[in-house]
């Protein structure tokens, strides 16, 4: 019988996906997101734009000398690949999209109470090089700090 519940890192990804799916252009955001997906297979086929692909990158854990006796601290990184399709305003569309994602992440830095903090670490942009394929991309790295019980990685503390 498998363990009950889900790992905290899985819950963090779920929350990130739900948060990003809620980006809707209007008074608070420039962009309306058409697709948010987790990386499953490579290459990824994207048909709806703007899109966000979530890719877990890895986790740094507390050092043994810094550790508390009952808790484990993790710093979990995820890449958010933002994709826009435009022929005439790639820079503006991409910068507005990055801003919207950044704002959405900051709305609840605790990811629904399961994290200590969430923040954008970096963004790197890539513009179209061919007129035939007007797709611009930004890779954003998000860091989510969290704690679990040392005896239960499915329980946030």
Residue 36 covered by a domain: yes
Measure CA 60 to chain center.
17
10 Å Cβ neighbour count for 86?
Answer: 16
What does DSSP say about strands 117-126 and 135-149: parallel, antiparallel, or unpaired? antiparallel
Q: What is the pLDDT of residue 51?
A: 97
79 lies in a domain?
yes
Only one residue has tokens 């990055």, namely: 98
With bands split at pLDDT 50, 70 and 90, how would you rate the model's confidence at 67?
Answer: low
pLDDT tens sequence across 112-149: 999 999 999 999 999 887 767 789 999 999 999 999 98
Question: What gap in Å lies between CA 117 and CA 126, rounded to an integer?
Answer: 28
50-84 burial: b if 16+ Cβ within 10 Å, else e:
bbbbbbbeeeeeeeeeeeeeeebbbbbebbbbbbb
Give the model's confidence band at 58: pLDDT under 50 very low, under 70 low, under 90 confident, else very high. very high
Degrees, nearest 5: CA angle 43-48-32: 130
Higher pLDDT, 152 or 32: 32
The token duo for 44 is: 């990824």
The pLDDT value recorded for residue 65 is 58
Q: Across all residues in the chain, what is the average pLDDT?
A: 91
Confidence label for 64 from pLDDT (cuts 50, 70 and 90): low
11 token code pair: 């819950």
The 3-state secondary structure of 84-105 reads: EECCCCHHHHHHHHHHHHHHHH
The answer as to whether 42 is a domain residue is yes
Q: For residue 88, is it within any domain?
A: yes
Could you tell me if residue 3 is inside a domain?
A: no
Domain, as residue range, for 133 = 8-151
Model pTM? 0.92
Domain count, the chain: 1
- CATH number, residue 95: 3.30.2000.10
Q: Which residue has the higher pLDDT, 46 or 140?
A: 140
Q: Which residues contact 2 (CB under 8 A, 6 or more apart)?
A: none
Q: What confidence tier does 84 reach under pLDDT thresholds 50, 70, 90?
A: very high
More confident residue, 118 or 89: 118
Rounded to the nearest 5 degrees, what angle is found at the Cα of 67, between the Cα atoms of 105 and 110? 15
Q: What pLDDT is stored for residue 128 in this prediction?
A: 80
| 66: confidence class by pLDDT, cuts 50, 70, 90 | low
Asked whether residue 157 is assigned to any structural domain, the reply reads no
């Amino acid at each position: 019988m498998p363990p009950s519940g889900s790992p905290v890192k899985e819950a963090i990804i779920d929350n990130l996906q739900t948060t990003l799916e809620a980006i809707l252009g209007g008074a608070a955001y420039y962009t309306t997101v058409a697709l948010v997906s987790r990386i499953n297979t490579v290459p990824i086929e994207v048909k709806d734009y703007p899109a966000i692909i979530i890719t877990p990158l890895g986790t740094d854990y507390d050092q043994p000398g810094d550790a508390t006796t009952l808790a484990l601290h993790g710093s979990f990184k995820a890449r958010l690949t933002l994709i826009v399709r435009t022929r005439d305003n790639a820079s503006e569309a991409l910068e507005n999209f990055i801003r919207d994602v950044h704002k959405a992440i900051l709305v609840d830095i605790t990811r629904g109470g399961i994290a200590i903090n969430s923040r954008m670490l970096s963004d790197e942009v890539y513009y179209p090089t061919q007129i035939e394929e007007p797709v611009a991309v930004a890779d954003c790295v998000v860091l989510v700090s969290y704690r679990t019980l040392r005896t239960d990685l499915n329980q946030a503390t």
